[in-house]
Amino acid sequence: MAPVGRGTGGHLGLPPVRPDLAALTGYHSEQVDVEVRLNTNESPLPPPPGWYEALLSGIARIEFNRYPDREATELRRGLADSHGVPPEQVFCANGSNEVLQSLLLAYGGPGRAVALFEPTYTLHRHIARITGTEVVAGRRSDAFELDLGEVRRVVGAGDPVITFLCSPNNPTGRADPLADIEAVVAMAPGLVVVDEAYGQFAPSSALEILRGRGPGAERTAAVRTFSKTWSMAGTRLGYLVADPEVVRACEMVTLPYHLDAAKQLAGRLALRFVDEMEDRVAMVREERGRMAATLAALPVETWPSDANFILFRPLRKEARDVWTDLLGASVLVRDCSKWPGLTGCLRVTVGLPSENDRFLAALSESLQ
Ligand code: PMP
């Protein structure tokens, strides 16, 4: 993982990169050639054959000499219908990371702060820093739950334009109860952005606040992605559901025609296959239960998960050594052991039953 800034300035007469980027390390999950890839929380299953067929015939009809629909009208309408909100409340981008970047470009920047509660998704902090936005960080509790007293302290002191939550929280796994999210909306001064990349696994959603138009609905935003439960990480498509004013703010910082025609089509077509998506979610939940039960019998600490991954901490062996043993067995998991608040932790994505078996066998072997 090479530092972004160092070694990128002053050579060959090139200008140095922005000094505030110089200390920033890039965000990279290892891309290693392995047989069992359980490190980036993707779906282990592809989209259904019907989606591929519809996509192929639809692509043959795209006028590729023309720019795509800049407003992504049909895709936004489809998503809006699926969530029971008007299309003016939906903004789409190239993955939910780009949604987060758009929010930070629109509302962040020098002299402004965002709040977040660690351990949480590292890109919230990373993109904030890229956009020159100050980060005020609080901590989740020892059980990785939201601590509302801590939230009050942090948002009171930091006056954030955005307070980021992540539910279910990556990499710890639990969804925040809706009552806690409502409490954060009530106490945070600006926009509360709930990253729901794993939202289909969770028992509740910030979308309920938005749909109910209750107190604070206009300051609540839910961010979702096609990368996980929709099995479309290769498509790079994510979206925001928020007040129309937030959607317009994101559009202001977006390049024209940022969503290509094939991507818009892929997203629209996916919405025809909701049942298949829900079946995959059910399969993952079942496998997650099986993995959790097996992990419970091993010398590891684990945390309950409402998502498609499980955080665990080997108790009698260094996390990095376990990670290396797993890699030796061609099983790749995420090493979170150096992340703030996660000393000694690894994260495994729930894969196919056969992949999970490989992981569990390799882990037992490593911990023998
Ligand atoms: N949010 C969370 C919490 C995630 O875990 C991820 C993927 N790792 C993303 C956002 C980004 O997803 P994408 O850009 O693929 O939509």
Query: ∠ at Cα 93 (89, 98), nearest 5°?
Result: 115
- At 9 the pLDDT is 61
Alpha carbon nearest to ligand 1 atom 6, residue: 197
Same domain, 88 and 157: yes
Q: Do 265 and 304 sit in the same domain of this protein?
A: no
237 Cα: distance to centroid of ligand 1 (angstroms): 10
The mean predicted confidence, pLDDT, of the chain is 95
Computed over its alpha carbons, how large is the radius of gyration of the chain?
A: 21
Predicted local distance difference test score (pLDDT) of residue 1? 42
Would you say the CB of residue 166 lies under 6 angstroms from ligand 1? yes
Residue 318 alpha carbon to ligand 1 centre in Å = 28
Q: Which of 240, 255, 270 is the last residue of a domain?
A: 270
HEC per residue, 306-332: CCCEEEEEECCCCHHHHHHHHHHCCEE
Specify whether 311 is located in the same domain as 227: no
Report the Cα–Cα distance between both ends of the chain, in Å, rounded: 31
* CATH number, domain with residue 184: 3.40.640.10
Sequence length of the chain is 368
CATH of the domain at 298: 3.90.1150.10
Tell me how far the alpha carbon of residue 223 lies from the centroid of ligand 1, in angstroms.
9
For residues 254 and 108, state if they share a domain.
Answer: yes
Q: How many domains does the chain have?
A: 2
How many angstroms is it from 13 CA to the middle of ligand 1? 37
- Euclidean distance between CA atoms 47 and 276, whole angstroms: 8
The verdict on the CB of residue 239 being under 6 Å from ligand 1 is no
- Ligand 1, atom 8, lies closest to the CA of 40
The pair of structure tokens assigned to 206 is: 């910030």
Given 248, 270, 292, which residue is the final one in a domain? 270
**Binding site membership of 93 for ligand 1 (Cβ less than 6 Å):** no
Structural domain for 134, as ranges: 63-270
Tokens of 163: 């307070």
**Residue-level pLDDT at 68:** 98
Atom of ligand 1 nearest to the CA of 237: 16
Report the atom number in ligand 1 closest to the C-alpha of 226: 16
Residue 6 has pLDDT above 70, yes or no: no
Within this chain, do residues 291 and 207 fall inside the same structural domain, yes or no? no
Which of ligand 1's atoms lies nearest the C-alpha of 40? Answer: 8
- Residue 18 Cα to ligand 1 midpoint, Å, equals 26
β-strands 162-166, 113-118 pairing: parallel
Residue 206, pLDDT > 90, answer yes
The answer as to whether 1 is a domain residue is no
Same domain, 146 and 200: yes
Q: How far is CA 198 from CA 56, 110, 113, 169, 223, in A?
A: 28, 31, 26, 8, 10
Q: Please tell me the residue having the least CA distance from ligand 1 atom 5.
A: 170
Q: Quick: pLDDT tens for 299-357.
A: 999 999 999 999 999 999 999 999 999 999 999 999 999 998 999 999 999 999 999 99
Which residue, 232, 252, 270, sits at the end of a domain? Answer: 270
- 197 and 90 in one domain? yes
Q: How confident is the model at residue 32 (pLDDT cuts 50, 70, 90)?
A: confident
Please tell me the distance from the alpha carbon of residue 185 to that of residue 163, in angstroms, as a whole number. 9
Rounded to the nearest whole angstrom, what is the distance from the C-alpha of residue 312 to the centroid of ligand 1? 20
The closest-lying atom of ligand 1 relative to the alpha carbon of residue 225 is: 16
Q: Check if 222 has its Cβ closer than 6 Å to any atom of ligand 1.
A: no
Q: What is the pLDDT of residue 4?
A: 44
Task: Report residue 19's pLDDT band, with 50, 70 and 90 as the boundaries.
Answer: confident
pLDDT in tens, 244-264: 999 999 999 999 999 999 999
With the most atoms of ligand 1 within 8 angstroms of its CB, the residue from 79, 94, 170 to mutate is 170
- Let me know whether 354 and 321 are in one domain: yes
